[in-house]
Amino acid sequence: MFDLGVSVNIHAWLHTTCLFICSKNAFCILALEFRCHLAGGTWYTNYGFGYDSVGDDYKVVAIPVIYGKDDQVYSEIMVHGLKSDSWKKAPDFPYYFDPHVNGKLASGALHWVVKESSKSNSDKLIAAFDLRTEEFKLLQQPEYFDRHCDMRLGILEGCLVLICSF
């Protein structure tokens, strides 16, 4: 496993996802071929990267999201295990992701802010993708004033942090 001085950046160009892993001991670039099976209008892909300690594997999670011409939003969850060097489809997750926001790793899961619908006034929720089971679940949220605030996630000393701006 990488030590605490690790920096990971994920960038995508056309159908290739490049994973840049930097630590104080090494620098590695992995180019992962990724094909989105969805077709339609405007699209973006959210990414996450983390370590599955049970399976002893580093995993890249790619979530392509397509805004179709029929005003519907379509997505799929793809997981690439570095040990197997292959992509596989994870179970669907019927929530809307903020565009271009990478997952935050805490407690063996990648976390994103999601909504139940594409409407701007939809409640925002916190979703966790468990790297071991490769499934999403919704987290119980803390009590706060307004779920319509500008919610962001962060990591502080290995813990997930919720930031709300009103």
Low pLDDT (below 50) residues in the chain: 1-8, 12-14
d(CA 91, CA 105): 19
Structure confidence at residue 102 (pLDDT): 87
Which tokens belong to 99? 């565009």
Q: What pLDDT, in 10s, does the model give residues 122-148? A: 788 899 999 999 999 999 887 766 666
Domain ranges of the chain: 7-165
Reference 106, options 80, 75, 139; nearest CA is 139
Handedness of CA 156, 49, 81, 127 (dihedral sign): positive
